[in-house]
Amino acid sequence: MFTNTVLSPAALSYQKKMMNSFIFWWAMLFKLPTAVFWRLKMVHLDGEKCLVSIPYFWRSQNPFKSIYFAALAGAAELSTGALCQLALAGKGAFSMLVVDFRAEYSKKANTKTTFSCEQGVEVFDLVASLNPGESKQIIMVSYGQNTSGEEVARFFITWSFKRKS
């Protein structure tokens, strides 16, 4: 089991880039332009958890005066995917893909919403356990909370990893 949260030099480099708002903005512009449009922000990223926020404003708003479900899903996916990328940094060639997705909405998202995924240790363990040619899946959960700390949504994102030979 991965209990040491010390990041490799490649992971530290990835973390530094993702936490730099200027570099994050440019990376998202080319890799995930909707993140720029919705103004997603990387709030925190380390070997244990990731926090991503999405503001409530005209670009993320639906006609019902709440954050559009796709914008919430994008923020939730980024909170899990960034942890996955951090775990893969410097570990060689891998394939990574979302293979299942489920969401539960519990409250209207009409303020800034912050998504948190705290499964860094689990995804680091999974990546470390993969042999060449082998694939495994992990269900990662991202919890969205409004500015009052109330849960507005919970996303279950299944990531599949395959270590390339």
Average pLDDT score, the chain: 95
Domains observed in the chain:
9-163 (3.10.129.10)
Q: What is the pLDDT of residue 5?
A: 63
Least confident of 2-11, 13-22, 92-101: 2-11
Q: What is the pLDDT of residue 3?
A: 45
Q: What is the pLDDT of residues 109-154, one digit of tens each?
A: 999 999 999 999 999 999 999 999 999 999 999 999 999 999 999 9
**pLDDT at residue 54 above 80?**
yes
CA dist 22 and 72 (Å) reads 22
Q: SS3 for 72?
A: helix
Beta carbons of 54 and 72 less than 8 angstroms apart: yes
Beta carbons of 45 and 15 less than 8 angstroms apart: yes
Beta carbons of 48 and 121 less than 8 angstroms apart: yes
Beta carbons of 78 and 35 less than 8 angstroms apart: yes
**pLDDT at residue 52 above 60?**
yes
